[in-house]
């Protein structure tokens, strides 16, 4: 069996930071301790001055997703490759059940999209649009297939939105089968009326995307989600939380021991409504949902991450090219495909603005981008940990590497960056996935199609 020794690095987990070597045997970590002999190792990688992190886990991506009259521009080949460059070795993407169809069909469709294309390991959530006659049994079938989480939308009426009865029924099922319900929490009815009113008044610029989706509409939906979790006894995971108002609802619920978890994304931590209000059509680059907020929100979200009111940072990577996709909404903001790119930059941005700028400890950083995602979504300790027996998904992280984020150099298949010109310190030097070096010093060494589908366990939120 192939053995690799990663020597002289600093091992960082959610719990501790220590100097140690990591011995890899085949696809797994065999041993972690200082001074492991190199004699028996086939390959030796020197990691002097480097941090050794468990591979990043991005639990919210949309690759090759039909949406808003077009399809997200990264597929599983380009998207997983870009993820690897940024130190993400696992992602969980969303399969969508079209209304009137069975979940099994959607799962087969997404397996086909990912199979022979993914270069890192991946899992799938199932987006439920219609429970129909057989939906509850279908949910159990999905869990048996390793699809241990479901997303339901409280927004996008007529497209993806389901009513409270559907969400409550689904929660009743996950209370029994142990899967996790993820909710897109915004009051879709109110937003729909506000959007139609704005368009009728000739308010068509990208900034109206935010002005028609108030933070109160997000907080109200989170409040409802909390109530449904409390009544059903099933845990709920709020995706892409964007505002202080919504965060307050999550915190209050957690203080009462309601099993609510929530993620935010780098864009909500680092950008604001001012980006949506950029001159001309430029703001379209920042049209995603929920929208960017006023500048008083991000500091509250950072506090939420530090104090465990928020548990995960994902990307909601859903790229659409500016030139030929965002343009669909040139005369009407409601027709701009919703979504933005970020799969490659999550660790860089969180390390620089979180760790370097003193907002997060190194261990909390690892917990947010890798360990808690693995625990919540049924992958731990195979993923999200550096320990004997875990997959050898290891990021050799250079804390001193300086990098300017730009569409000119990124690997995502999209013609702009939401973080263009951001200068970050800290970047992945070498990335290993199941013991194999897939990125080294800016060169992709992986293989398209090597990524494996991950059958995840349904843990029912009992993850601590």
The binding track of 437-456 with respect to ligand URP, each residue x by CB under 6 A or -, is --------------------
Which of the listed partners (Zn ion, ligand URP, none) does 382 bind, with a CB threshold of 5 to 8 Å by partner kind?
none
Specify the stretch interacting with Zn ion by CB under 5 A; choose among 106-114, 178-186, 198-206, 220-228.
178-186
Q: How far is the CB of 338 from ligand URP (least distance, A)?
A: 3
Taking CB under 6 A as the rule, does residue 384 contact ligand URP? no
Report CA-CA distances (Å) from 302 to 57, 61, 104: 19, 21, 39
Cα–Cα dist 185/169, whole Å: 17
Parallel, antiparallel, or unpaired: how do β-strands 443-444 and 436-440 relate? antiparallel
Question: Is there binding between residue 385 and Zn ion (CB under 5 A)?
Answer: no
Q: Which residues of 60-96 are buried (b: 16+ CB within 10 A; e: fewer)?
A: bbbbbbebbebbbbbbbbbbbbbbbbbbbbbbbbbbb
- Contact with ligand URP (CB under 6 A): which of 79, 135, 235, 339? 339
Q: Does 288 bind ligand URP (CB under 6 A)?
A: yes
Please count the other Cβ atoms lying within 10 Å of the Cβ belonging to residue 199: 17
- List the one residue from 4, 232, 242, 289 that touches ligand URP (CB under 6 A): 289
The C-alpha atoms of residue 464 and residue 458 are separated, in whole angstroms, by 14
Instruction: Single out the residue of 30, 113, 117, 184 in contact with Zn ion (rule: CB under 5 A).
Output: 184
- Least Å distance, CB 318 to Zn ion, is 6
Q: Which residues contact 363 (CB under 8 A, 6 or more apart)?
A: 12, 13, 14, 15, 16, 17
Residues 249, 219 contacting (CB under 8 angstroms): yes
Which of the listed partners (Zn ion, ligand URP, none) does 288 bind, with a CB threshold of 5 to 8 Å by partner kind? Answer: ligand URP
| Under rule CB under 6 A, residue 393 binds ligand URP | no
184 vs 411, beta carbon nearer ligand URP: 184
CA angle at 78 for the pair 94 and 348, rounded to the nearest 5°:
85
Compute the half-sphere exposure of residue 36: CA atoms within 13 Å on the CB side of its CA: 24
Q: Tell me, by CB under 6 A, how many residues bind ligand URP.
A: 9
In the complex with Zn ion, which residue's Cβ is closer, 23 or 59?
59
From candidates 316, 344, 367, 436, binder to Zn ion by CB under 5 A: 316
Tell me whether residue 25 or residue 316 sits nearer to ligand URP (CB atom). 316
End-to-end CA distance of the chain: 34
Closest CA to 79 of 319, 340, 239: 319
Query: Taking the mean position of all CA atoms in its chain, how far away is CA 244?
Result: 20
Contact between 184 and ligand URP per CB under 6 A: yes
State the residues that interact with Zn ion by CB under 5 A: 184, 316
State the residues that interact with ligand URP by CB under 6 A: 62, 184, 240, 288-289, 316, 318, 338-339
């Amino acid at each position: 069996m192939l053995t690799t020794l990663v020597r002289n690095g600093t091992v960082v987990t959610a719990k501790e930071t220590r100097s140690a070597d990591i011995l890899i045997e085949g696809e797994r970590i065999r041993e972690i301790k200082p001074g492991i002999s190199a004699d028996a190792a086939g390959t030796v990688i020197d990691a002097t001055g480097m941090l050794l992190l468990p591979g990043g886990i991005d639990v919210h991506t949309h690759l090759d997703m039909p949406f808003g009259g077009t399809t997200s521009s990264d597929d599983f080949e380009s998207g997983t490759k870009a993820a690897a460059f940024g130190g993400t070795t696992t992602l969980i993407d969303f399969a969508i059940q079209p209304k009137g169809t069975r979940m099994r069909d959607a799962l087969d469709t997404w397996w086909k999209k990912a199979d022979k294309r993914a270069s890192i390991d991946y899992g799938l959530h199932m987006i439920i649009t219609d429970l129909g006659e057989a939906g509850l049994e279908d949910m159990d079938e999905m869990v048996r297939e390793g699809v241990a989480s479901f997303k339901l939308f409280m927004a996008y009426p007529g497209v993806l939105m389901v009513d409270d009865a559907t969400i409550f029924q689904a929660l009743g099922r996950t209370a029994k089968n142990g899967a996790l319900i993820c909710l897109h929490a915004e009051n879709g009815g109110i937003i729909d009326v506000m959007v139609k009113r704005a368009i009728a008044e000739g308010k068509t610029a990208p900034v109206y995307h935010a002005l028609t989706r108030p933070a109160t509409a997000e907080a109200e939906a989170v409040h409802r989600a909390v109530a449904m979790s409390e009544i059903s006894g099933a845990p709920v995971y709020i995706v892409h939380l964007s505002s202080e108002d919504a965060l307050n609802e999550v915190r209050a619920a957690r203080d009462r021991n309601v099993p609510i978890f929530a993620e935010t994304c780098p864009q909500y931590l680092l950008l604001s409504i001012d980006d949506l209000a950029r001159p001309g059509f430029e703001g379209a680059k920042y049209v995603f949902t929920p929208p960017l907020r006023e500048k008083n929100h991000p500091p509250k979200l950072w506090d939420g991450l530090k104090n465990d009111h928020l548990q995960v940072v994902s990307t909601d990577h859903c790229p659409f090219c500016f030139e030929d996709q965002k343009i669909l909404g040139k005369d009407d903001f409601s027709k701009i495909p919703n979504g933005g790119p970020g799969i490659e930059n999550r660790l860089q941005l969180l390390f620089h603005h979180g760790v370097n700028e003193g907002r997060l400890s190194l261990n909390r950083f690892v917990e947010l981008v890798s360990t808690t995602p693995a625990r919540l979504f049924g992958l731990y300790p195979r993923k999200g940990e550096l320990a004997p027996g875990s997959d050898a998904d290891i990021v050799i992280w250079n804390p001193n590497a300086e990098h300017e984020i730009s569409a000119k150099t990124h690997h995502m298949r999209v013609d702009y960056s939401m973080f263009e010109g951001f200068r970050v310190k800290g970047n992945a030097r070498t990335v290993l996935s199941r013991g194999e070096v897939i990125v080294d010093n800016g060169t992709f060494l992986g293989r398209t199609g090597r990524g494996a589908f991950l059958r995840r366990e349904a843990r029912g939120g009992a993850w601590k």
